[in-house]
Structure 1
Amino acid sequence: MAKLIKKVQKKQPDENKESIISELTEILEKIGFTVRVEKGSFKGGFCILNEQKLFLINKNLEQDKKISIIAQSIAAIGAEDIYIKPGIRKIIENEKADDKLF
């Protein structure tokens, strides 16, 4: 007897979260990083490759996780001298505070 395999539908991306991710990546670019979204067995983070500052983010991560990783990285680098919208700055500060708990 053949089994019926149900195809799980992908979650539709949240427009608001996509906007936040876009604004966070713009901040990284202002700091001087090239942002690349790729598949792989990693979560994300910054590195230097051939004297080029890169920030990699895993394409398959959920939106909330992408926001968290990018915001924590910006908090670690420091972006005090760059204008950041108050709502986005609050997300970065919250991630920085949450990161200190661990």
Structure 2
Amino acid sequence: MSTNQKTAKLLEELEAVASKLDIKLRYEVTKARGGLCTVDGEKLFILDRKSSKEYKLLILARAIKEFDLSDIYLSPKLREFLYEEI
């Protein structure tokens, strides 16, 4: 599996974790680099659609790892990425 495929797979897994945490993801064209905010009581994570997959993975992972993930299944690869790479 290529690095690009691994990145895409990890990003897909993180998107699923975000959903389980009730975080809505929005990919938009924006000048902002992206981040987590709360709008009308809902957690919203906005990412620049034009950013690389590597950047999207990194910025989303940094936000996700701040949540309690003890009740959410994380694949060994995702767990390793979250707690050893970042």
What TM bracket, shorter-length normalisation?
0.7 to 0.9
Paired amino acid for 2:17: I
Q: Which of 29, 42, 48 is the aligned partner of 1:58? A: 48
Q: What's the CA shift for 1:20?
A: 1.5
Structure 2: gaps (5+ residues): none
Residues 13-71 of structure 1: per-residue CA shift (max 9 Å, x gap): x3332222111111011011111111101112211111111111111111111111111
CA distance in 1, matches of 2:46, 2:9: 18
Identity %: 25
Q: Structure 1 residue runs of 4+, over 3 Å off?
A: none
Highest CA radius of gyration, 1 or 2? 1
Query: Higher relative CO (CA 8 A, sep ≥ 6), structure 1 or 2?
Result: 2
Count residues with an aligned counterpart. Answer: 83
Which structure has the highest strand share of the two?
2
Are 2:27 and 1:21 equivalent residues in the alignment? no
CA distance in 2, matches of 1:64, 1:52: 26
Q: Which of 6, 29, 37 is the aligned partner of 1:39? A: 29
CA RMSD of aligned residues (A): 1.4
Structure 1: gaps (5+ residues): 1-13
Query: What secondary structure does 1:77 align onto?
Result: coil
Matches within 5 A, 1:1-102: 14-95=4-85, 98=86
Per the normalisation by structure 1, the TM-score is: 0.73
Per the normalisation by structure 2, the TM-score is: 0.85
